[in-house]
Structure 1
Amino acid sequence: MERLLPSDPSLIGGHRLAGRLGAGGMGVVYLARSPHGAWCALKVIRAEYADDQGFRARFRREAELASRLTSRWTVPVVAADADARSPWLATAYVPGPSLAEAVALHGPWPEAQLRGLGTVLAEALDGVHAAGLVHRDVKPANVLLAVDGPRLIDFGIARAVGATALTTDGSVVGSPGYLSPEQARGHTVGPPSDVFSLGCVLAHTVTGRPPFGTGGAAAVLYRTVHQEPDLDGVPEGLDRTVRRCLAKEPERRPSARELRDILGEFAADAWLPEGLPALVAARAARVLDLPVPEPTMVAGPAPVDPYDAQPSPTRRRLLVAGAAAGVTAAAGAGAWWQWGRNNASANTGSGRRARHVVALLGNPDRPFYTAQERGARLAVEQHNQDARRTIDLVLRTTDDRGTARGSAAAAARLADDPDVSVVIAAGTNATVLAALPPCTEARLTVLVTRADHDDLNLVNTTSALVLRSTRTVGPGAALRYLNRAVKPGRTVIVHDLATEAESRATINITSPHGKLNGETVIEEVAADQDFTGAARRIATRPRDAVVFGGVNPDRAAALARALRNAGHQGARVAGEHVLATPFLAVGEGWRIGTGYIDASADPRTKAFAAAFRTRYKRAPGPWAAEAYDAVRFAAQGLAHLDDDGRSTLRSVLLRRPWQGITRRVSFDAANQYFQANDDGGEFLYVVTGGAARFVSRSDDIPKKT
Structure 2
Amino acid sequence: MERLLPSDPSVIGGYRLAGRLGAGGMGVVYLARSPHGTWCALKAIRSEYADDPAFRARFRRETQLATGLRAHWTVPVVAADAKARTPWLATAYVPGPSLAEAIALHGPWPAAQLLRLAAALAEALDGIHTCGLIHRDVKPANILLAVDGPRLIDFGIARAVGATALTADGSVIGSPGYLSPEQARGRAVGPETDVFSLGCVLAHAATGRPVFGVGPAAGVLYRTVHENPGLEDVPDALAETVRRCLSKDPRNRPPVAELREEFGRFDEHGWLPSGLPALVAARAARVLELPVPQNTVVDDGPPGAGTPDAATRAEVPGTVTPTSRRRVLAAGGAVGGVVAAGAGGWWRWGRPDHTAARGTGPLPRRVIGLLGDRSDPAFTAHERGARLAVGEHQNNPRRPFDLVLRTADDRGTAAGAAAAAAALAADPVMDLVIGAGTNTTVPAAVAACTRARVTLLVTRADTNELDGVNLTSALLLRPTRTVGPPAVLRYLNRVVRPGRSAVVRDLSDADETLQTIRIITVHKKLDGDAVVEEVAPDADFTAAARRIAARGDDAVVFAGVRPGRAASCARALRAAGYRGTRVADEHVIGTPFLDAAEGWFVGTGYTDATADPRTRKFAAAHRARYRSAPAPWAAEAYDAVRFAVHGLTAAGDNARTTVRAELLRHSWQGITRRVSYDPDSEFFQANDDAGSFLYEVTDHAARFVSGADDIPRPEA
TM over 0.5: yes
Most deviating of 223-232 and 458-467: 458-467
Please list, as runs of the form range in 1=range in 2, the aligned pairs for 1:502-581 lying within 5 A after superposition.
502-510=512-520, 513-543=523-553, 545-568=555-578, 570-581=580-591
Q: Name the aligned partner's letter for residue 341 of structure 2.
A: G
SS, match of residue 422 in structure 1: strand
Distance 1:175 1:512, change over 3 A: farther
Q: Map 1:232-381 onto structure 2 (within 5 A).
A: 232-235=232-235, 238-248=238-248, 250-254=249-253, 256-257=255-256, 259-260=258-259, 263=262, 265-268=264-267, 272=271, 275=274, 278=277, 282=281, 285-286=284-285, 289-291=288-290, 293-295=292-294, 322-326=337-341, 334-337=344-347, 339-344=349-354, 347-381=357-391
The residue type equivalent to 1:100 in the other structure is: A
Q: 2:87 matched to which residue of 1?
A: 87
Is 1:449 the counterpart of 2:433? The answer is no
Residues 307 and 121 of structure 1: CA distance in aligned 2, closer, same or farther (over 3 Å): farther
Question: In the alignment, is the contact (CA less than 8 A) between 2:58 and 2:160 conserved in 1?
Answer: no
Higher deviation after alignment, 166-175 or 445-454: 166-175
SS in 1 for 2:377: coil
The whole-number CA distance in structure 2 between the counterparts of 1:499 and 1:461 is: 26
Q: 1:481 aligns with which of 488, 491, 501?
A: 491
Does structure 2 conserve the Cα–Cα contact (< 8 Å) formed by 1:56 and 1:83?
Answer: yes
- Distance (Å, rounded) in 2 between the aligned partners of 1:651 and 1:382: 25
Task: Pick which of 621-630 and 199-208 moved more.
Answer: 199-208
Which residue is 1:204 aligned to?
204
Decide which moves more: 20-29 or 416-425: 416-425
Q: What CA distance in whole angstroms lies between the structure 1 residues aligned with 2:423 and 2:280?
A: 42
Structure 1, 192-201 or 181-190: larger mean CA deviation:
181-190
Describe the SS at the equivalent of 2:136.
coil
Contact 1:159 1:165 in 2 (8 A): no
Q: Which moved more, 1:579-588 or 1:178-187?
A: 178-187
Unaligned runs of 5+ in 1: 328-332
In 2, the alpha carbon distance for the partners of 1:8 and 1:162 equals 26
2:704 aligns to what SS in structure 1? strand
Counterpart residue type for residue 357 of structure 2: N
CA distance in 2, matches of 1:136, 1:504: 32
Describe the superposition over 1:217-248 as per-residue Cα deviations: whole angstroms up to 9, x where unpaired: 55444433332112224455654443333233
CA contact (8 A) 2:126 2:257 kept: no
Q: In structure 2, what residue type is equivalent to 1:197? A: S
Counterpart of 2:603 in 1: which secondary structure? Answer: strand
Could you say if the C-alpha distance between residues 418 and 241 of structure 1 is closer, same or farther in structure 2, counting changes exceeding 3 Å?
closer
In structure 1, the partner of 2:708 is 698
Secondary structure of 2:639's partner? helix
**1:486-505 aligned within 5 A:** 486-505=496-515
Report Cα offsets for 1:518-567 as digits up to 9, x if no partner: 55554333222222333344445322543332211112222233334445
Instruction: Name the CA distance, whole Å, in 2 between partners of 1:390 and 1:187.
Output: 50
CA contact (8 A) 1:16 1:295 kept: no
1:186-234, CA deviations, whole angstroms, 9 ceiling, x for partnerless residues?
6665554433222212322344433223455554444333321122244
Query: Which amino acid counterpart does residue 86 of structure 2 have in structure 1?
Result: S
What residue identity is the alignment partner of 1:585?
D
| Unaligned ranges ≥5, structure 2 | 308-321
- Please say if 1:385 is aligned against 2:384: no
Assess if the C-alpha contact under 8 Å between 1:345 and 1:642 holds in 2.
Answer: no
- Distance, in Å, in 2 between the alignment partners of 1:28 and 1:8 is 10
- Tell me the equivalent position of 1:330: none
Q: Which stretch of the first structure deviates more once superposed, 349-358 or 267-276?
A: 267-276
Secondary structure class of the residue paired with 1:546: strand
C-alpha contact 2:75 2:92 (8 A) present in aligned 1: yes
Q: What is the deviation of 1:631?
A: 1.5
- In 1, the alpha carbon distance for the partners of 2:526 and 2:161 equals 29
The letter for the 2-side match of 1:91 is: T
What is aligned with 2:318? Answer: none
Contact 1:55 1:166 in 2 (8 A): no
Once residues 233 and 374 of structure 1 are traced to their aligned partners in structure 2, the CA distance between those partners, rounded to angstroms, is: 48
How far did residue 309 of structure 1 move?
Answer: 8.9
Listed one character per residue, the Cα deviations across residues 398-437 of structure 1 (whole Å, up to 9, x for unaligned) are 4444444544454444334455543333232333344445
User: What's the CA shift string for 1:240-260, capped at 9, x where partnerless?
Assistant: 443333233x34432644654
Residue 687 of structure 1 corresponds to which residue in structure 2?
Answer: 697
| Residue number in structure 1 paired with 2:319 | none
Q: Is the 8 A contact 2:95 2:287 kept in 1?
A: no
Deviates more, 1:290-299 or 1:500-509: 290-299
Q: 1:629, CA displacement in angstroms?
A: 0.6
Q: Displacement, 1:475?
A: 0.9
TM-score with structure 2 setting the length: 0.83
The separation in 1 between residues aligned to 2:383 and 2:272, in whole angstroms, is 53
Q: Contact 2:606–2:636 (CA<8 Å) still a contact in 1?
A: yes
Residue 577 of structure 1 and its aligned partner are, at CA, apart by: 0.8
In 2: Cα distance, 1:381 partner to 1:306 partner: 47
2:288 and 2:205 map into 1 onto residues whose CA distance is 31
Amino acid at match of 1:8: D
Q: Which residue of 2 aligns with 1:595?
A: 605
Q: Does the aligned pair in 1 maintain the 2:338–2:345 contact within 8 Å?
A: no
Aligned partners of 2:614 and 2:671 also within 8 Å: yes
Aligned partner letter, 1:266: R
Are 1:140 and 2:140 matched, yes or no? Answer: yes
Aligned twin of 1:651: 661
C-alpha distance in 2, partners of 1:143/1:134? 16
1:425 partner letter: G
1: distance between equivalents of 2:139 and 2:263?
21
- 2:40/2:92 contact within 8 Å kept: yes
CA distance in 2 between counterparts of 1:394 and 1:319 reads 40
Corresponding residue for residue 622 of structure 1: 632
Going from structure 1 to structure 2, the CA distance change for 1:326 and 1:189 (only over 3 Å counts) comes to same
SS at match of 1:430: coil
Distance 2:545 2:189 in 1: 41
Partner of 2:311: none
Query: How does 1:3-14 map onto structure 2 within 5 Å?
Result: 3-14=3-14
1:253 counterpart letter in structure 2? N
Q: Which residue of 2 aligns with 1:177?
A: 177
Greater CA deviation, 159-168 or 170-179?
159-168
Is contact 1:24-1:667 (8 Å) kept?
A: no
Alpha-carbon contact 1:119-1:259 (below 8 Å) kept: no
**Hey, what does 1:661 align to over in structure 2?**
671
8 Å CA contact 2:199–2:245 kept in 1: the answer is yes
In the TM superposition, what is the alpha-carbon distance from 1:656 to its structure 2 partner? 2.7
Please, what TM-score do these two structures have when normalized by structure 1?
0.85
Contact 2:562–2:588 (8 Å) recurs in 1: yes
State the SS of the aligned residue for 1:229.
coil
Worse-matched range after superposition: 279-288 or 668-677: 279-288
Q: Check conservation: 1:26, 1:46, Cα contact below 8 A.
A: yes
CA distance in 2 between counterparts of 1:398 and 1:361 reads 5
In the alignment, the residues of structure 2 paired with residue 661 and residue 39 of structure 1 have an alpha-carbon distance, to the nearest angstrom, of 42
How far the C-alpha of 1:669 sits from its partner, in A, is 4.4
1:90 is paired with a residue whose SS is strand
Give the corresponding residue for 1:33: 33
User: For residues 384 and 310 of structure 1, what CA distance do their matches in structure 2 show?
Assistant: 42
> More displaced, 596-605 or 467-476?
596-605
Taking the aligned partners of 2:681 and 2:103, their CA distance within structure 1 comes to 17
Aligned partners of 1:425 and 1:109: how far apart in 2?
A: 33
Superposed displacement of residue 43, structure 1? 1.0
Q: Is the 8 A contact 1:137 1:158 kept in 2?
A: yes
**1:42 aligns to 2:42 (yes or no):** yes
In 2: Cα distance, 1:484 partner to 1:61 partner? 43
Paired residue total: 696
Provide the rounded CA distance (Å) in 2 between the counterparts of 1:284 and 1:368: 44
State whether structure 2 residue 595 is matched by structure 1 residue 585: yes
